[in-house]
């Protein structure tokens, strides 16, 4: 499977190998995991992050647990494992869909060895499908740009590339695809407080790819759109409701409002598994709340031994309180188009495009 330079998820010798994204860009460290609980911890602690990557890792976690079980398969026990994995990151719907498919995969097996074999096969197929879908999505996204133009300036938020998926990426996948057409793309990456996925990960990916990239603070987009010609805002997503309301990394809503004010096209890049047609509007999307110290400190990123990965220090007074929602919801009227492997379309066409 051709994934490009960055492979954050690898299945090797019956173990799941994850690139520890908390330690980027300082160093590339891989964690080798052999138990379900280890994978759940890796998901919660953001060793692996990004909705597609979480879904793939969650399915490998089920396979790892099945490997250690003996005897006849008990579906009720498997349901308990699914619930554990699902609780690791509740906002992204990709994990929900993948776990539902995993249930169907093992519903007729008689023993845990059979379950293990089928779950490994399913997780690998899920990874291969995600890569293919991202490559198709990237190609579809280029159609929204005037290709007689040779240079494009885009703003991104969070990280939506190979590190968040099986490879290529969603929003960064469109950027890669434009580059592959011979276009110059200049990327402005929101730093994405408080976990800094934009400055740590997106900038890292763009440098690996040789794509020009400037880190901007999350509050700089208004100045940038006012001072320079921005061709588009490209973001990923974690869940899309039936009406097009979209949950994505906190700060996406602010960026969408600013883009609307300056008439800059705001595009959401999403594979089919990010659309949750069971939810009528974004008000029903669960929003994960994370630890306060991720906002009040900048030594919350630690390595496996508990040592800070950044210079220890406080960014606020001792005992200051903070709110730390991991996601916000951008209403459909701020979104010009969704970019998917099924083509590009506005929020009003979601139900027709996703039938069946």
pLDDT single digits (tens) 4-51: 467 889 999 999 999 999 998 888 899 999 999 999 999 999 999 988
pLDDT at residue 44, as a whole number: 92
Nearest of 133, 111, 2, 142 to residue 55 by alpha carbon: 133
Nearest of 237, 243, 314, 308 to residue 281 by alpha carbon: 243
Domains and CATH numbers, the chain: 9-135 (1.20.120.420), 136-353 (3.40.50.10470)
Q: How many angstroms separate the Cα of 318 from the Cα of each of 297, 311, 313?
A: 10, 17, 11
Asked whether the predicted pLDDT for residue 356 surpasses 60, the reply is no
Nearest of 243, 233, 232 to residue 331 by alpha carbon: 243
Which residues have a catalytic role annotated?
Answer: 238
Percent of the chain with pLDDT over 70: 94
Binding-site members are: 49-51, 89, 197, 248-249
pLDDT at residue 133, as a whole number: 95
Nearest of 250, 164, 176, 238 to residue 210 by alpha carbon: 176
pLDDT at residue 69, as a whole number: 92
Binding-site members for substrate are: 49-51, 89, 197, 248-249
pLDDT single digits (tens) 145-203: 999 999 999 999 999 998 989 889 999 999 999 999 999 999 999 999 998 999 999 99
Which pTM value belongs to this model?
A: 0.86
Asked whether the predicted pLDDT for residue 80 surpasses 60, the reply is yes
**φ/ψ bin of 294: left (φ > 0), alpha (ψ from -120 to 50), beta (otherwise):** alpha
Asked whether the predicted pLDDT for residue 2 surpasses 80, the reply is no
Cα–Cα distance between 337 and 240 in angstroms, integer? 12
Asked whether the predicted pLDDT for residue 273 surpasses 50, the reply is yes
Asked whether the predicted pLDDT for residue 105 surpasses 90, the reply is yes
For residue 310, what pLDDT band results from cuts at 50, 70 and 90?
A: low
pLDDT at residue 78, as a whole number: 93
């Amino acid at each position: 499977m051709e994934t490009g330079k960055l492979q954050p998820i690898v299945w090797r010798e019956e173990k799941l190998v994850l690139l520890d994204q908390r330690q980027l860009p300082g160093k590339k460290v891989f964690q080798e995991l052999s138990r379900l609980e280890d994978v759940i911890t890796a998901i919660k602690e953001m060793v692996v992050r990004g909705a597609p990557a979480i879904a793939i890792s969650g399915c490998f976690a089920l396979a790892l647990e099945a490997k250690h079980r003996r005897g006849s398969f008990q579906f009720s026990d498997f349901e308990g494992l699914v619930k554990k994995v699902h609780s690791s990151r509740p906002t992204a719907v990709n994990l929900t869909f993948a776990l539902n498919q995993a249930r169907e995969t093992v519903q007729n097996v008689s023993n845990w060895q059979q379950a293990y074999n089928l779950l490994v096969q399913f997780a690998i197929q899920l990874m291969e499908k995600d890569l293919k879908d991202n490559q198709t999505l990237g190609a579809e996204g280029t159609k929204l740009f005037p290709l007689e133009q040779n240079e494009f300036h885009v703003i991104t938020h969070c990280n939506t590339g190979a590190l968040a998926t099986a490879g290529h990426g969603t929003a960064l996948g469109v950027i890669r695809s434009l580059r592959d057409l011979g276009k110059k793309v200049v990327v402005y990456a929101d730093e994405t407080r408080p976990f800094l996925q934009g400055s740590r990960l997106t900038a890292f990916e763009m440098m690996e790819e040789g794509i020009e990239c400037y880190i901007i603070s999350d509050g700089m987009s208004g100045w940038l759109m006012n001072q320079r010609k921005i061709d588009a805002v490209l973001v990923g997503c974690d869940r899309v409701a039936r009406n097009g309301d979209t949950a994505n990394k906190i700060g996406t809503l602010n960026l969408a409002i600013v883009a609307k004010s300056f008439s800059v096209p705001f595009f959401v890049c999403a594979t089919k598994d990010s659309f949750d047609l069971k939810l009528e509007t974004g008000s029903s999307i669960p929003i994960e709340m994370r630890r306060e110290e991720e906002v009040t400190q900048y030594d919350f990123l630690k390595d496996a031994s508990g040592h800070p990965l950044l210079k220890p220090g406080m960014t606020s007074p001792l005992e200051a309180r903070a709110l730390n929602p991991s996601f916000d919801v951008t209403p459909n009227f701020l979104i010009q188009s969704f970019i998917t492997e099924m083509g590009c379309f506005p929020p009003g066409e979601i139900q027709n495009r996703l039938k069946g």
